[in-house]
Structure 1
Amino acid sequence: MTALGRAWIFPVAIAAAAALIVAMLGATMTDIGPWYYSLAKPDWAPPDALYGVAWTAIFAITGLGGVTAWRAMPDRRESEMLIGLFAFNGFLNILWSLLFFRMQRPDWAAIEVIVLGVSVVMLMLYAARRSWLAAALLVPYLAWVTVAGLLNWQIVALNGPFS
């Protein structure tokens, strides 16, 4: 294996493991059951089968963006800041699932999704300082979080108040 190949193995493995952990924790919080199916949803809501496919693609592309950004960071301090931003974003991603599904509080999740979106923008801006490609690879994640946020707000409007 070439030195370039070895240099990519560690960050790719870490990014893949982090994405799997966030996805698995989020999935354990997601309860698609009678409560969720009883919610009124807007006509434009994606079919339920699309969510798993979309999140898998988003996590893969975001992981690639994270690896690209990490490799572009010139020193340990900037790399650690990037990792911290990704860790915070992963926490927010899991928190949204906890609020919306487990606690059945779409109203709280609608507020939290704004913070989640801001964290994606922060990641994009931080990555863009060193790699426009890394920032561009985060655009689908921001787009999906935006759609999820709009859907979340519509669910609140159609079903609220929640208690």
Structure 2
Amino acid sequence: MQLTWEAVAASILPSLGGFVSTPYTLKKIKTWYKTLVKPWWTPPEYVFGPVWTFLFTSMGFASYLVWRDGGGFGGEAKTALALYGAQLAINWVWSPIFFGMESVKGGFFIGALLWCTAGVASVAMARVNLTAGLLMGPYMMWLTLATSINFYLWRNNPPKKKKKNN
């Protein structure tokens, strides 16, 4: 298989949201996130960067396969690519809500919406290109783990009470 610029661009695109949010996410990981009560199944912090890089790259390549085999944005791939784009946008919104706003509740609800949207996108992508659907499998497994962690965080970390200004 010949690697094309389209394949490279599609593989890089999902990481852009992560790169944009990295500076404040890293700061919050070292401060606010460290204070949260986490479940025993939370992976070590050093795992997240490499895993997300792999997942973003593989889902981006999956989108390329769908685009290539489904006739681009106007062909059979149109719905699958629209769903893929929607789940990617939801993915990019999670960090600003969870870390930026320090909202574990908001993060959970965005994560649950992301899990549903990514699942529907994965099925739609598999209908156009089975390999693309299979490439979304590890992402769905990771989202399942992440959503379960986020639910635990929401249930076991009450929101901070706002101070009254008198």
Q: TM-score range by the shorter chain?
A: 0.7 to 0.9
Residue 14 of structure 2 corresponds to residue 12 of structure 1: no
Amino acid corresponding to residue 158 of structure 1 in structure 2: N
8 Å Cα contact 1:69-1:130 kept in structure 2? yes
Provide the secondary structure at the position in 1 that maps to 2:41. Answer: coil
Amino acid corresponding to residue 146 of structure 2 in structure 1: A
Tell me the alpha carbon deviations over residues 115-150 of structure 1, each in whole angstroms, 9 at most, x when there is no partner.
101111121111121221110110000111110000
Tell me the alpha carbon deviations over residues 20-67 of structure 1, each in whole angstroms, 9 at most, x when there is no partner.
312212424523132111111112210000000110111122122212
**Structure 1 pair 28/144, CA: closer, same or farther in 2 (3 Å)?**
same
Alignment-derived partner of residue 114 in structure 1: 112
Give the CA deviation at 1:162.
5.2
**RMSD value over aligned CA atoms?**
1.9
**Structure 1 pair 68/162, CA: closer, same or farther in 2 (3 Å)?**
farther
Alignment-derived partner of residue 86 in structure 2: 88
Q: Which moved more, 1:41-50 or 1:18-27?
A: 18-27
Amino acid corresponding to residue 39 of structure 2 in structure 1: P
Residue 25 of structure 2 corresponds to residue 27 of structure 1: no
Provide the secondary structure at the position in 2 that maps to 1:32. Answer: helix
**Structure 1 pair 14/68, CA: closer, same or farther in 2 (3 Å)?**
same
Q: 2:58 aligns with which of 28, 47, 61?
A: 61
Q: How many pairs does the alignment contain?
A: 158
In structure 1, stretches of 5+ residues that fail to align are none
Amino acid corresponding to residue 159 of structure 1 in structure 2: N
In structure 2, stretches of 5+ residues that fail to align are 162-166
Tell me the alpha carbon deviations over residues 95-124 of structure 1, each in whole angstroms, 9 at most, x when there is no partner.
111111000011011111111011111211
Q: Which moved more, 1:26-35 or 1:124-133?
A: 26-35
Runs of 4+ in 1 over 4 A off after TM superposition: none
Distance 1:79 1:155 in 2: 37
Distance 1:70 1:162 in 2: 45
Q: 1:126 aligns with which of 106, 114, 124?
A: 124
Distance 2:146 2:9 in 1: 26
Distance 1:112 1:157 in 2: 15
Aligned-pair identity (%) = 25
